[in-house]
């Protein structure tokens, strides 16, 4: 049912813009069109498949649960039964976690690194940001999928940029040139802008994943209670780039960040 909420127009606009540009690239005399005319179907099929995959990934990230906190029991169960034997050994049983915070909006206990999203009206685990283009939050459950979507989207828009440029033709006058290339110039502008934006987001989120932090923590460190006591360069959740990336991409369960935080800040090894 979430498809028919406020994000319906945003998602519809995304799909229409994507396929409109794709149609323009196939109808004009671009590299893709010339490959079709020569009977070389592999490049057009690969490009179409990439665009289709990017749309599918967009809806996957846009419609999936980013890690909403559903109840107090859900929060307490995660902290006491996270199933990480290594952390259980490293942290004494009587280790006191930092006092939990009750959300001022939905009145639920917030696990560490969670934040209430005013747009979604729910608390989100390991909150990163609310993406207006997705009309959904990016959090613990869909952050890895968001980054993979950025990779596929960058491949699609950069390929589209190159394809649009290949179809631009010369004309004896500026007026004729604009008439001949008007739609391609529009596609060139949109794919060029999206290429830069997606590349920037991809680099930022790869960096954040490598140091195990979030956009919210990176931008609002001075306002976050569990980071105020740390040095300006200290990240209590950083366990090294390889381990951080492994947890980010390969660990699908909910993490008890209170345990990681206590281990690092108390120096228990």
Annotated catalytic residues are 131
> Which own/partner pairs from 113-116 qualify as long-range (CB within 8 Å, at least 24 positions apart)?
113/140, 113/214, 113/217, 113/237, 113/257, 114/69, 115/216
User: d(Cα 217, Cα 215) in Å, to the nearest integer?
Assistant: 6
| Planar angle of CA 57, 188, 21, nearest 5 degrees | 45
Q: How far is CA 265 from CA 97, 123, 156, in A?
A: 11, 25, 43
Q: Which residues contact 191 (CB under 8 A, 6 or more apart)?
A: 21, 157, 158, 160, 161, 164
Q: How far is CA 113 from CA 54, 104, 216, 230, 237, in A?
A: 29, 15, 9, 15, 10
């Amino acid at each position: 049912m979430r498809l028919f909420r406020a994000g319906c127009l945003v998602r519809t606009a995304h799909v229409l813009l994507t396929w409109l540009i794709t149609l323009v690239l196939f109808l004009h005399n671009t590299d893709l069109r010339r490959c079709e005319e020569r009977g070389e179907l592999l490049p057009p099929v690969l490009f179409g498949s990439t665009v289709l995959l990017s749309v599918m990934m967009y809806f996957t990230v846009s419609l999936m649960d980013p890690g909403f906190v559903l109840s107090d029991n859900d929060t307490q169960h995660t902290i006491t039964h996270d199933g990480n034997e290594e952390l259980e050994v490293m942290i004494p049983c009587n280790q006191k976690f930092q006092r939990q915070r009750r959300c001022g909006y939905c009145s639920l206990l917030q696990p560490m690194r969670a934040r209430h999203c005013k747009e979604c009206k729910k608390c989100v685990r390991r909150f990163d940001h609310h993406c207006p283009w997705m009309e959904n939050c990016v959090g613990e459950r869909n952050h890895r999928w968001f980054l993979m979507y950025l990779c596929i989207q960058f491949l699609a828009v950069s390929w589209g940029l190159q394809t649009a440029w290949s179809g631009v033709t010369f004309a004896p006058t500026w007026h004729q040139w604009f008439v001949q290339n008007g739609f391609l110039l529009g596609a060139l502008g949109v794919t060029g802008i999206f290429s830069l934006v997606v590349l920037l987001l991809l680099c930022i989120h790869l960096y954040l994943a490598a140091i195990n932090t979030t956009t919210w923590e990176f931008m609002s460190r001075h306002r976050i209670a569990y980071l105020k006591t740390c040095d300006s360069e200290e990240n209590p959740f950083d366990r090294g780039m390889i381990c951080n990336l492994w947890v980010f991409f390969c660990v699908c369960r909910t993490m008890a960040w209170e345990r990681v935080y206590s281990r690092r800040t108390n120096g228990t090894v």
